[in-house]
């Protein structure tokens, strides 16, 4: 089955794709086991989506192998990585495989590998999901919708890596060590350090936003200087630039309580925020995007949330399908 045929087929769910990956790893580690091979064939035959996911994983694996072999002296390196993968556990193998796939460029790979970040992360959430965790050092970590986080604690530091989405961190004294270790949060465009604080870090495509609710947080600037952010302040971090933000039009931590709290917020920006919590498309026409709204909105049911808007604004909801909603001017 070639890539063109794969693209034309319906997309299997991330859960099914992950099952296909796990079956491939089982076969790889139990190559001589007829029972495992038979069970895999039974799984593939159980539903068309299973076979579609299987073929996609095979195609990605073959594409990765060909890309690796095209590099100078890459054959031995690829074989060594395969051998290492056999000796790793399931989570470590997934991380290794996702790292290799990320190294393989191409639009096809980029499109199909979006769920890998969540699958291989130490902590993650799906679209519309929010979860909380307590780490071994006592730090409380809350993940917003569609987020992925890894932790790397050592004798010298506590490192939390935000690769996607948004987190709220409540940190204090290090409960694991008599020698204080800094709590560092790294993201694509910067690093911050929590000092007995409660703060939100949100990763966007072009910048990272830091909002401090309690305590103090340090921003590690590119020039190695430190900027102290106090409670009530928010900053944008983008590459070489760190910029203080004026008062936000939305409470940055209300999502942890299942809320959007807006303050004179553009409707276009509000709808973009709601879209983060539901699958499919939700948008608004340009002639209503500049309307403003303030209020407290609950996130557990975004359909009910959207249904409230025509009661306060001159708009109406147009549903093309359950997953395609547009706000239009009510005329």
Cα(32)–Cα(259) distance, rounded to whole angstroms? 53
pLDDT at 122 over 50: yes
Cα(100)–Cα(82) distance, rounded to whole angstroms? 11
Roughly how many angstroms between the first and final C-alpha of the chain, as a whole number? 51
Q: Which DSSP symbol is given to 10?
A: P
SS3 62: helix
> What DSSP letter does each residue of 131-155 carry, written as one string?
EEEE-TTS-EEEE-TT-EEEEEE-S
pTM metric for this prediction: 0.67
Cα(58)–Cα(66) distance, rounded to whole angstroms? 12
Strand 158-170 to 183-187 pairing:
parallel
Q: 330 burial class (0-12, 13-18, 19+ CB within 10 angstroms)?
A: exposed
List pLDDT tens digits, range 263-286.
999 999 999 999 999 989 999 999
Cα(143)–Cα(131) distance, rounded to whole angstroms? 5
Q: Please give the average per-residue pLDDT across 217-227, as a whole number.
A: 84
- So what's the pLDDT on residue 70? 52
> What DSSP letter does each residue of 151-216 carry, written as one string?
EEE-SS-EEEEEEEEEEEEE--S-SS-SS---EEEEETTEEEEEEEEEEEEEE-SS-EEEEEEEEE
- So what's the pLDDT on residue 117? 56
- So what's the pLDDT on residue 37? 84
- So what's the pLDDT on residue 22? 76
Cα(192)–Cα(57) distance, rounded to whole angstroms? 37
Which residues touch 39 (CB under 8 Å, ≥6 apart)? none
290 to 53, 284, 328: CA distances (angstroms) = 42, 10, 12
Which residues touch 240 (CB under 8 Å, ≥6 apart)? 222
Cα(102)–Cα(122) distance, rounded to whole angstroms? 18
Least confident window among 2-6, 146-150, 247-251:
2-6
The answer to whether 326 and 318 have CB atoms below 8 angstroms apart is yes
Domains and CATH numbers, the chain: 3-120 (no CATH), 123-244 (2.60.120.1440), 254-329 (3.55.50.30)
- So what's the pLDDT on residue 108? 35
Which is higher by pLDDT, 61 or 23?
23
Average pLDDT, the chain: 81
Q: Please give the average per-residue pLDDT across 26-40, as a whole number.
A: 73
Place of tokens 């200087």: 225
Least confident window among 31-35, 167-171, 290-294:
31-35
Cα(277)–Cα(280) distance, rounded to whole angstroms? 10
List pLDDT tens digits, range 12-26.
676 777 778 878 777
pLDDT at 76 over 60: no
List pLDDT tens digits, range 282-302.
999 999 999 999 999 999 999
- So what's the pLDDT on residue 78? 45
Q: How many residues does the chain have?
A: 331
Least confident window among 63-67, 71-75, 94-98:
71-75
**How large a percentage of the chain has pLDDT more than 90?**
48
Which pLDDT band holds residue 307 (cuts at 50, 70, 90)? very high
Least confident window among 108-117, 174-183, 198-207, 290-299:
108-117
Which pLDDT band holds residue 52 (cuts at 50, 70, 90)? confident
Q: Which residue in 190, 195, 168 sits closest to 180, CA to CA?
A: 195
- So what's the pLDDT on residue 55? 82
């Amino acid at each position: 089955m070639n890539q063109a045929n794969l693209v034309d087929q319906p997309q299997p769910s991330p859960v099914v794709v992950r099952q296909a990956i796990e079956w491939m790893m089982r076969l790889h580690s139990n190559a001589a086991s007829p029972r495992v091979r038979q069970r895999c064939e039974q799984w593939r035959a159980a539903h068309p989506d299973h076979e579609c996911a299987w073929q996609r994983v095979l195609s990605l694996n073959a594409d990765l192998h060909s890309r690796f072999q095209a590099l100078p002296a890459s054959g031995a390196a690829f074989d060594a990585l395969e051998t290492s993968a056999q000796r790793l556990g399931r989570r470590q193998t997934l991380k290794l495989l996702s790292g290799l796939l990320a190294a393989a460029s191409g639009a096809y790979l980029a499109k199909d590998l979006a769920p890998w970040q969540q699958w291989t992360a130490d902590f993650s959430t799906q679209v519309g999901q929010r979860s909380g965790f307590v780490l071994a050092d006592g730090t409380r970590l809350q993940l917003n919708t569609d987020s992925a986080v890894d932790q790397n604690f050592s004798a010298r530091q506590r490192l939390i890596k935000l690769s996607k989405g948004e987190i709220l961190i409540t940190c204090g004294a290090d409960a694991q060590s008599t020698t204080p270790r800094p709590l560092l949060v790294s993201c694509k465009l910067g690093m911050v350090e929590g000092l007995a604080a409660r703060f939100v870090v949100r990763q966007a495509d072009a910048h990272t936003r830091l909002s401090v609710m309690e305590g103090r947080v340090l921003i590690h600037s590119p020039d190695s200087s430190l900027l102290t952010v106090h409670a009530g302040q928010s900053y944008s971090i983008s590459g070489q630039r760190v910029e203080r933000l004026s008062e936000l039009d939305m409470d940055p931590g209300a999502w942890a309580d299942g809320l959007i709290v807006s303050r004179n917020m553009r409707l276009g920006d509000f709808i973009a925020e709601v879209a983060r919590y539901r699958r499919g498309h939700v948008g608004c026409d340009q002639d209503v995007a500049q309307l403003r709204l303030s209020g407290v909105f609950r996130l557990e049911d975004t359909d009910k949330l959207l249904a409230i808007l025509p009661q306060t604004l001159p708009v109406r909801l147009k549903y093309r399908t359950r997953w395609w909603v547009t706000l239009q001017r009510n005329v």
